[in-house]
Amino acid sequence: MELIQYFINHQSQIFNLLMEHIQLTFISVMLATLIGIPTGILICYIKKLDKPILGAANIIQAIPSMALLGFAIPLFGIGTIPAVITVTLYSLLPIIKSTYTGIININPQVLESAKGIGLTRFQVLYKIQIPLALPVIMSGVRISSVTAVGLMTIAAFIGAGGLGYFVFSGIRTVNTLQILAGAIPACLLALAVDYIANIVEKLVTPINLQNQPSKSMKNLKEKRLYRKMILIFTSIFLVGIFFLSSDSANNPHQKTLSIGSKDFTEQHIIANMLADIIEANTDIKVTREINLGGTQVCFGALQSKNIDMYVDYTGTIYGEILGYTPTNNIKKVYSTAKQDLFQKYNMTMLNHLGFNNTYTMAVRQDTAQKYHLKTISDLSNIASSLKAGATLEFLNRKDGLLGVTGTYGFNFAGTIGLDGASRYIALNNNEVDIIDAFSTDGLIKKFDLVILEDNKNFFPPYYAVPIINNDTLEKYPEITPLIEKLGAVLNNKVMIELNYKVDELQIDPSVVSKEFLKENNLI
Tally of domains within the chain: 3
Residue 219 pLDDT more than 60? yes
Same domain flag for 336 and 445: no
CATH number for 368: 3.40.190.120
Please indicate, yes or no, if residue 211 is contained in any of the structural domains: no
CATH number for 260: 3.40.190.10
Sheet holding 450-452, edge to edge: 414-417, 387-390, 434-438, 359-363, 450-452
- This prediction's pTM: 0.71
Inter-residue contact 353 to 522 (CB < 8 Å): no
Phi, psi of 284 (to 5 degrees): -90, 130
Same domain flag for 288 and 324: yes
Same domain flag for 435 and 484: no
**Cα 219 to Cα 16, 207, 214, 216, 224, distances in angstroms:** 39, 11, 10, 5, 8
Rounded percentage of the chain residues whose pLDDT exceeds 90: 41
Same domain flag for 49 and 178: yes
- Please report which helix (H) or strand (E) contains residue 192, including its range: helix 176-203
Same domain flag for 485 and 413: no
Residue 244 pLDDT more than 90? no
Average of per-residue pLDDT values in the chain: 86
Could you give the CA distance from residue 38 to residue 132 in angstroms, rounded to a whole number? 16
Radius of gyration of the chain (CA): 28
Residue 469 pLDDT more than 90? yes
Give me the count of residues in the chain.
523
pLDDT of amino acid 511: 92
Could you give the CA distance from residue 444 to residue 457 in angstroms, rounded to a whole number? 20
Residue 306 pLDDT more than 90? no
Inter-residue contact 238 to 246 (CB < 8 Å): no
Q: How confident is the model at residue 368 (pLDDT cuts 50, 70, 90)?
A: very high
pLDDT digits (tens, 9 = 90+) for 63-112: 887 777 777 777 777 778 888 999 999 999 999 999 999 988 888 888 78
Same domain flag for 198 and 308: no
Same domain flag for 295 and 363: no
C-alpha closest to that of 193 among 8, 17, 24: 24
Higher pLDDT, 4 or 279: 279
Could you give the CA distance from residue 223 to residue 214 in angstroms, rounded to a whole number? 14
Same domain flag for 347 and 380: no
SS3 of 137, please? helix
Domain of 37, in residue numbers: 2-205
pLDDT of amino acid 339: 95
Among residues 205, 221, 243, the one where a domain terminates is 205
Same domain flag for 384 and 317: no
pLDDT of amino acid 389: 93
